[in-house]
Amino acid sequence: MEADMVAAQNIGHADASDQKQWTLMWREDGGLMPSRAVPDAALLAADSWLVDDGRVRGLDRHRRRFVAACVEASGDSPARIESFWRDAIAALPRTERWFPRVELAGPEPARLFLRIRPAPPRTVNVTVCLTEEFDPRSHPRRKGPDLPLLAHLRERAAARGAQELMLTTPSGLVLEGTTASVLWWEDDVLCLPPPGLPLLAGVTSALIQDRAAELGVRTEHRNRTVQELDGREVWLVNAVHGIRPVTAWLGRPLRAGPALRAASWQSWLDSAADPLVSTNGVHR
């Protein structure tokens, strides 16, 4: 297995310079081996995060979310998923910007994959498309099965000049974007949708909430319709872009509020990344 891991790491570091992407399949008795990419339609669970010159934010939260998703999707043992995770982290490049994704893919027996991809260009603000349709996801709390559907929704939003589309409940309550959690400010209160709604547990959102608690900033879960976000500072947050204030709404006559706080919070978020650590606890 050690030889397989060295081979996998060498593949990663050899390709880091030309920004190609590649896929590795994991075997319990053989470690990570080169593989063809699986189609997104086969995904049972997935998770992804930004690696910027060997530093990452909230990696342990991503690990816990992925392990829980895999156990739910396949009934696999947490110990087996953790073993895959350790091998995957060891195989990641430590230079340049990457957006790796860990995957559990079917059909039976489900298999585990690591897809190493260059990170997309970072954007600092976002235009959001609003529609009359409600959230069509089948597994909103588990990342993976709905990725093809969400990609289709983003394509529709892009055709209208937006980078994101807001998902809502049938009654019109705000949920999240197709790739991002949503937060907004009401006076000095940082707000987000209640956890009882069908939401993905966002890692970046959780980090921001922790920071707010450290600073003594009040946070509240509030049910709000899209219309009730009119004129407010609204953020879409995720691993790859961080905090993006909404600077335009498409589809309804909403005003984007001034982004008074986003820059300072993004500066903190940039500083919150930690070095990747190998399986033996040594920084690499």
CATH code of the domain containing 46: 3.30.470.10
Among 90, 120, 150, residue at a domain's last position: 120
Q: Quick: pLDDT tens for 262-276.
A: 999 999 999 999 999
Indicate whether 35 belongs to any domain. Answer: yes
Residue ranges in the chain assigned as alpha helix (H): 2-15, 59-74, 78-91, 147-159, 203-215, 262-271
Q: What is the dihedral of CA 60, 204, 200, 48, to 10 degrees?
A: -60
Per the document, the length of the chain is 284
Structure tokens at 125: 């603000």
Mean pLDDT confidence for 138-146: 98
Indicate whether 211 belongs to any domain. Answer: yes
**Antiparallel, parallel or unpaired: β 126-129 and 242-250:** parallel
- The share of the chain scoring above pLDDT 90, in percent, equals 88
> How many whole angstroms separate alpha carbon 177 and alpha carbon 165?
6
Identity of residue 277: V
Q: Is the pLDDT of residue 158 over 70?
A: yes
pTM for this prediction? 0.90
Over the range 252-263, which residues count as b (16 or more CB within 10 Å of their CB) and which as e?
A: eebebbebebbe
- pLDDT at position 110 is 94
Question: Taking phi first (over 0 means left), then psi (-120 to 50 degrees means alpha), and beta for anything else, what does residue 144 get?
Answer: left
CATH number at residue 251: 3.20.10.10
Q: How confident is the model at residue 277 (pLDDT cuts 50, 70, 90)?
A: confident
Pair 143, 213 in one domain? yes
Q: Give Cβ neighbours of residue 178 (< 8 Å, ≥ 6 apart).
A: 150, 151, 153, 154, 157, 164, 165, 167
- pLDDT at position 19 is 52
Among 67, 87, 120, residue at a domain's last position: 120
- pLDDT at position 278 is 63
> What is the CA 192 to chain-centroid distance, rounded?
17
Q: Name the residue among 147, 138, 139, 146 with its Cα closest to residue 72.
A: 139
Q: Is the pLDDT of residue 4 over 60?
A: no
Q: Quick: pLDDT tens for 184-243.
A: 999 999 999 999 999 999 999 999 999 999 999 999 999 999 999 999 999 999 999 999
Higher pLDDT, 8 or 206: 206
Q: Quick: pLDDT tens for 91-117.
A: 999 999 999 999 999 987 899 999 999
Structure tokens at 257: 């509020």
Pair 83, 144 in one domain? no
Pair 139, 267 in one domain? yes
**Antiparallel, parallel or unpaired: β 126-129 and 111-116:** unpaired
Q: Is the pLDDT of residue 252 over 60?
A: yes
Pair 222, 166 in one domain? yes
Q: What is the dihedral of CA 142, 115, 202, 85, to 10 degrees?
A: 80
Pair 27, 158 in one domain? no
Domains: count for the chain: 2
User: Are 264 and 230 in contact, with CB atoms under 8 Å apart?
Assistant: no
Mean pLDDT confidence for 69-79: 96
> How many whole angstroms separate alpha carbon 124 and alpha carbon 199?
23
Pair 143, 197 in one domain? yes
Pair 36, 130 in one domain? no
- pLDDT at position 108 is 79
- The share of the chain scoring above pLDDT 70, in percent, equals 91
Q: Quick: pLDDT tens for 80-89.
A: 999 999 999 9
Pair 110, 130 in one domain? no
Pair 224, 153 in one domain? yes
Q: Is the pLDDT of residue 2 over 90?
A: no
Q: Which range marks the domain in which residue 78 is found?
A: 2-120
- pLDDT at position 43 is 98
Q: What is the mean pLDDT of the chain?
A: 92
Q: How confident is the model at residue 11 (pLDDT cuts 50, 70, 90)?
A: very low
Pair 115, 220 in one domain? no
Higher pLDDT, 170 or 16: 170
Among 120, 137, 164, residue at a domain's last position: 120
CA distances for 128 relative to 85, 199, 251, angstroms: 34, 18, 9
